[in-house]
Homo-oligomer: A and B are copies of this chain.
Amino acid sequence: MIIVLHKNIQGSDLTDILRQLEEWGLEAYIAQFEHRSIISIANKVHSDFDIRKIALLKGVVDVYRVDEPYKLASRTWKKNSTCFEVKGVTVGAEELNIIAGPCSIESEEHIFEMAALISKEGVKFIRGGAFKPRTSPYSFQGLGIEGLKMIRKAADTYDLRVVTEIMDASQIDDVCLYADIVQVGTRNMQNFYLLKQLGKINKPVLLKRGMSAQITEWLMAAEYILSGGNEKVILCERGIRTFDHTGRNTLDVSAIPIVHELSHLPIFADPSHGTGNRNRVIPMSLASVAAGADGLMIEVHSCPEKALSDGPQALYPEQFMALMTQLRALTSVLQNKHVREPQKNTIWV
């Protein structure tokens, strides 16, 4: 930490500052220059320490916390990109991981139909919500545990891994029983109680960015999970809130290279929530991959007009197939990623 002092600081103010720093356990060294003096703190400042306390002392111009507030999530701490296996499929490596499926699990028949559709395209992860966070208390709230059973059964039939959202810490046991990756939604990104519990489980966590979360805050939220002992965290950009109204959200594609700079964790993009409009999903999927995304989360529905939630952002099956074809072409010219081929011998139930 560095403390910049007023040019003409009074001796008594300086004494007060030094005494106060000592009281806070901070080891201070003064460096005097022609221009002005600064104090450098030699020992590691606990991330608990609120630097505004110093900023308000008389004689202080400004304070800078030099170290990043997150540690385990930082690329400074761990140089190599994190990758891990989920039932035989590697996340964060050369394969562009595609998670696809409907917004909500609607029925057993429907989730089987969707599982068949996506697995035929080479997809290895299925999504579908059983507990739905809805802005209105009067909206469809999901099928709950019955829904989880349905998606598990469909996934097992088609060799898929299940990604599904948890809304509250009380659901951990149930969700972990059926899911392969536990998703934390945008509204829960700073539900610290939940994050702490997820630090103790033995499943990867897909952590969506809060809709107005700074990237640093997002990495701090990941730190909650990592510091609990769970190293398998996937970050997922899903659109931020801006002043523009032409879309539901603004997918922050530029977060992708920034996260790669700051952190070793894999980063996915969700262009379905990020745009809220199926016609924009294909261009924004391609953009995300071109920017370096490790994976995509895509909503697709056999009949979006009848979807129980978020139908307008779900791709039609033929759009989804077109997207997969374009992703294969795109990754063929990118050095570091590839997409699985569609299945030759399709299992169709």
Q: Which residues of B contact A274 (CB under 8 A)?
A: 254
- The reply to whether B48 and A140 form a contact with Cβ atoms under 8 Å apart is yes
- The reply to whether B52 and A312 form a contact with Cβ atoms under 8 Å apart is yes
- The reply to whether B191 and A244 form a contact with Cβ atoms under 8 Å apart is no
- The reply to whether B139 and A47 form a contact with Cβ atoms under 8 Å apart is yes
- The reply to whether B134 and A192 form a contact with Cβ atoms under 8 Å apart is yes
- The reply to whether B246 and A258 form a contact with Cβ atoms under 8 Å apart is yes
**In the complex the two chains form, what is the Cα distance from A284 to B310 in whole Å?**
29
- The reply to whether A194 and B168 form a contact with Cβ atoms under 8 Å apart is yes
- The reply to whether B191 and A48 form a contact with Cβ atoms under 8 Å apart is no
Interface string of A263-296 (1 = CB under 8 A from B): 0000000000011111110011011111110000
- The reply to whether A135 and B168 form a contact with Cβ atoms under 8 Å apart is no
CB distance from A295 to the nearest CB of B (A): 16
Report the copy number of this chain in the oligomer.
4
**In the complex the two chains form, what is the Cα distance from A164 to B226 in whole Å?**
29
- The reply to whether B242 and A242 form a contact with Cβ atoms under 8 Å apart is yes
Q: Which residues of B contact A34 (CB under 8 A)?
A: 42
Contacts A137-B224, A190-B187; A66 near B214 (Cβ below 8 A): no
A-side interface mostly: mixed
Q: Which residues of B contact A311 (CB under 8 A)?
A: 50, 52-53
- Asked if A342 lies at the interface with its beta carbon under 8 angstroms from chain B, I say no
- The reply to whether A35 and B46 form a contact with Cβ atoms under 8 Å apart is no
- Asked if A253 lies at the interface with its beta carbon under 8 angstroms from chain B, I say yes
Interface string of A212-254 (1 = CB under 8 A from B): 1011110010011001100000000000111111110011111
- The reply to whether A66 and B212 form a contact with Cβ atoms under 8 Å apart is no
- The reply to whether B48 and A138 form a contact with Cβ atoms under 8 Å apart is yes
Contacts A168-B194, A254-B250; A47 near B138 (Cβ below 8 A): yes
Q: Which residues of B contact A20 (CB under 8 A)?
A: 305
Place the interface of chain A in its size category: 35 or more
- Asked if A348 lies at the interface with its beta carbon under 8 angstroms from chain B, I say no
CB nearest neighbor in B for A291? B287
Q: Which residues of B contact A44 (CB under 8 A)?
A: 35
Contact of A242 among B131, B220, B240, B288 (CB under 8 A): B240
CB nearest neighbor in B for A55? B312
Q: Which residues of B contact A250 (CB under 8 A)?
A: 240, 252, 254
- The reply to whether A309 and B50 form a contact with Cβ atoms under 8 Å apart is yes
Other than the given A2-B38, A69-B135, 15 more pairs (CB < 8 A) read: A4-B66, A20-B305, A35-B41, A52-B277, A53-B304, A56-B278, A61-B66, A62-B64, A137-B195, A167-B192, A168-B191, A187-B191, A247-B254, A253-B291, A284-B291
Q: List 9 A-B contacts (CB under 8 A).
A: A2-B38, A38-B38, A48-B138, A137-B223, A167-B191, A188-B191, A215-B246, A216-B245, A286-B291
Binding site for B on A (CB under 8 A): 2, 4, 20, 29, 31, 33-36, 38, 40-44, 46-48, 50, 52-53, 55-56, 61-62, 64, 66, 69-70, 131, 133-140, 167-170, 187-188, 190-196, 211-212, 214-217, 220, 223-224, 227-228, 240-247, 250-258, 261-262, 274-280, 283-284, 286-292, 304-305, 309-313, 329-330, 332-333
